[in-house]
Amino acid sequence: MNTTNSLFPEGFLWGGALAANQCEGAAREDGKGLSTADALTGGVFGKPQIPPEGFYLKEKAIDFYHRYKEDIRLFQEMGFKVLRISISWPRIFPNGDDLEPNEKGLAFYDSLIDELLAKGIQPLVTLSHYELPLHLAEAYGGWGDRRLIELFVRYADTVFRRYQGKVRYWLTFNEINMILHAPFNGSGIQGTAEEVDQSLLYQAIHHQLVASAAVTKLGHEIDPENKIGCMIAGSPIYPLTCHPDDMIEMVQKDRQSLFFGDVHVRGRYPAYMNRYFAEKGIHIDFAPGDEEILKNTVDFVSFSYYMSYCATADPEKNIQSQGNIMSAVKNPYLSESEWGWQIDPKGLRYILNQLYDRYQLPLFIVENGLGAKDMLTDDGHGGQTVEDDYRIDYLKAHLLQAAEAIRDGVELWGYTSWGCIDLVSNTSNQMSKRYGFIYVDRNDDGTGTMERYRKKSFYWYRDVIQTNGESLRK
């Protein structure tokens, strides 16, 4: 608990977050197999292109695979304590069901992790960030097939052993609840959320929850020092009005996401889902032993936070607008980003309190940030920069609300801002939707030099980290 007057506790883990498929590129290099992310050439809601052909941005992404040393130097210059990365499953097991790992893929992460440690930056590793080996989607139909549990455990076992003593913080599935809204992105099951059979979808979710618990158990056995967390897309839901029907609607919508945290933290399915499953005619097969495995609960809860939503029971006001991967009713009191994502810093304080009240486990904000169009300009010293005051304003407002939550008593381990270097966006597959403190010269059509430039926010974040958040008071 933070008992001083400072905004953030001592040892707070400041840093940034990346995902392999959005930054590495080298999609077919050194034995890597293709992934579901490679197939989503038209973005999360496009039809998967299997196999991907022709130009697509993620194939080269920002070439982090070859430039990570230069990028890590810049993260070190900002004073990062932690970098959230993901390991690409198909870089290690190209088809997903191979018996032996791809040594060249492991060699890349050996070198990346050693480089981070040499620069004093702790890796926080996501095992599965929207990247299933494409072969498992094609030949097995994705996570609807129970055999994926064993294959995922094999992959996790390989990397837990390889990075034992080097990686302390692990996350199992990125935004595990988003499978409900974008099934192929989250599970390799083809079809939109409306098209996919709900029993199949919840069966896939069940397999992921069992897999998550199984690797949590394994990770603890391999190294008791490992801290293993779940990762949920955190979107607070407000009732659109104080009408009791809206309130009930809000509770029900909220539970759709909370369900994932509840299983990870409590080690069993919550009672409220029984009614939901019965009413929707959803049937899930529990294999013998599943209930036991689910009891292997997480050490902490991590989440992404970009926006909040509203819920209403009134069909006339129930106009769904697209936000992040999920869509919901807009809040009339909030402004929005150029991509229509509503901006709500206080929602961050709310969800930190909600999750801490509910779980009483340490929390970690592993994504937050503003996707915006940036313009390179002269920095007045012969170089180039981006005057991204809008990004600074956004991040500052959110960090101040995180500090409020800490004052409320929430135990918060750290904050990794999303896309700390510009990368390819997930929902829409664009470079022009930028989140970084570092500008990457690459355009949506693939042109550009890949050169890196420090934005104004780079220096601002460096000050925030250097002062452990005290500079936010200014």
Q: Does residue 324 touch ligand BG6 according to CB under 6 A?
A: yes
Specify the stretch interacting with ligand BG6 by CB under 6 A; choose among 5-13, 218-226, 422-430, 459-467. Answer: 422-430
Beta-ladder partners of 418: 17
CB of 278 to ligand BG6, least distance (A): 31
Q: Select 360 or 443, whichever has its Cβ closest to ligand BG6.
A: 443
Specify the stretch interacting with ligand BG6 by CB under 6 A; choose among 64-72, 283-291, 421-429, 458-466. Answer: 421-429
Q: Select 22 or 216, whichever has its Cβ closest to ligand BG6.
A: 22
Count the site residues for ligand BG6 by CB under 6 A: 17
Q: Among residues 71, 136, 65, which one has the least CA distance to residue 98?
A: 136
Is residue 462 within a helix (H) or strand (E), and if so which, with residue range?
helix 456-466
Specify the stretch interacting with ligand BG6 by CB under 6 A; choose among 145-153, 349-357, 424-432, 456-464. Answer: 424-432
* Packing angle, helices 103-118 and 147-162, rounded to 10: 50
Please enumerate in sequence order all residues whose Cβ is within 8 A of that of 401, keeping only pairs 6 or more positions apart, or say none. 345, 346, 348, 349
Residue 11 and residue 246: Cα distance in Å, rounded?
Answer: 41
**DSSP one-letter code for 97:** S
Q: Does residue 175 have an active-site annotation?
A: yes
Q: Select 3 or 335, whichever has its Cβ closest to ligand BG6.
A: 335
Q: Which of 93, 418, 439, 458 binds ligand BG6 (CB under 6 A)?
A: 418
Q: Does residue 100 have an active-site annotation?
A: no
- Residue 52 has φ and ψ, to the nearest 5°, of -65, 135
CB of 426 to ligand BG6, least distance (A): 4
Specify the stretch interacting with ligand BG6 by CB under 6 A; choose among 94-102, 248-256, 352-360, 426-434. Answer: 426-434
Q: Which of 24, 131, 145, 175 binds ligand BG6 (CB under 6 A)?
A: 175
**DSSP one-letter code for 35:** B
Residue 15 and residue 124: Cα distance in Å, rounded?
Answer: 10
Q: Select 418 or 458, whichever has its Cβ closest to ligand BG6.
A: 418
Q: Which of 206, 253, 396, 433 binds ligand BG6 (CB under 6 A)?
A: 433
Q: Does residue 131 touch ligand BG6 according to CB under 6 A?
A: no
Residue 216 and residue 299: Cα distance in Å, rounded?
Answer: 9
Q: Select 41 or 304, whichever has its Cβ closest to ligand BG6.
A: 304
Q: Which of 257, 302, 417, 427 binds ligand BG6 (CB under 6 A)?
A: 427
Residue 244 and residue 294: Cα distance in Å, rounded?
Answer: 35
Residues 61-120 that bind ligand BG6 (CB under 6 A): none
Alpha helices of 99-235 — where are they, by DSSP H?
A: 103-118, 134-140, 147-162, 183-187, 198-222
* Packing angle, helices 198-222 and 147-162, rounded to 10: 30
Residues 327-346 that bind ligand BG6 (CB under 6 A): none
Q: What pairing do the DSSP bridges indicate for beta strands 300-305 and 452-454?
A: unpaired
CB of 147 to ligand BG6, least distance (A): 26
CB of 368 to ligand BG6, least distance (A): 9
Expressed in percent and rounded to 5, the helix, strand and coil fractions of the chain are 40, 15, 45
Q: Select 331 or 429, whichever has its Cβ closest to ligand BG6.
A: 429
Q: Does residue 325 touch ligand BG6 according to CB under 6 A?
A: yes
Which residue's Cβ has the minimum distance to ligand BG6? 427
Q: Among residues 173, 174, 182, 177, which one has the least CA distance to residue 46?
A: 182
CB of 295 to ligand BG6, least distance (A): 27
Residue 6 and residue 162: Cα distance in Å, rounded?
Answer: 38
Q: Select 347 or 469, whichever has its Cβ closest to ligand BG6.
A: 347
Q: Which of 24, 138, 175, 249 is catalytic?
A: 175
- Supply 375's token pair: 């313009």
Residue 233 and residue 301: Cα distance in Å, rounded?
Answer: 11
Residue 228 and residue 219: Cα distance in Å, rounded?
Answer: 8
| Catalytic sites, residue numbers | 175, 367
Binding site for ligand BG6 (CB under 6 A): 19, 22, 130, 174-175, 233, 304, 324-325, 367, 371, 418, 425-428, 433
